[in-house]
Structure 1
Amino acid sequence: MPEGWDGTTRDPDEVLYEISMKEDQMLYEEFVQRLEFNKKKVAGEVKCHKYSRRRPDDGWNYMVEKLGAQAKHGVGGGWKFISLPDGSSRPLNDMEKMR
């Protein structure tokens, strides 16, 4: 038996109460930290893009690869072109051919 132990045990309800109080305190501290972060009180600024990419006024251009019967994506079995927002298409330029 450990030194200084008088042989008595603690009440299980008391132990559960202490454990629940510690857990409540930890949850409260975590809540306060997250709240302060969301209010920008911690670190001054939240790291995010102020001006993210916005949709162009005329719409996006998409690269399309038309595959043949035996072709696989990216293997060069099909031919690629750019599809424009108005429904038309154009061939690839030099920069797009490198992809």
Structure 2
Amino acid sequence: MFDLCACPAALSESLDYETILSHCVAKIDSFDHQVAIKYGQHYGYFDVNGDVTPSGRVLAKFIGIFGEAELAELQLMQAKESDENLAKAA
């Protein structure tokens, strides 16, 4: 059996994968991993092989440091800013 603790890079990759998969499962509100992977691929977190992309790794690190609540707050701020910019343009 492969010991993840003996290989820090493999441990980091595994944790990133699980973090992103968990995020995607929460977003789709379902435990269907295939649908969660498709969601992650749509947003660029997973590549066509189901591996974590560089942007997925960045998101995993962000979630690892700040948590899902901070991410949700940041997304809300960005949506509000986008709505304000759209209203100004109209």
TM-score, with structure 1 as normaliser: 0.27
Select the structure that is richer in strand: 1
Select the structure with the greater relative contact order (CA < 8 A; seq sep ≥ 6). 2
TM-score, with structure 2 as normaliser: 0.29
Select the structure that is richer in helix: 2
Which one has a bigger Cα radius of gyration? 1
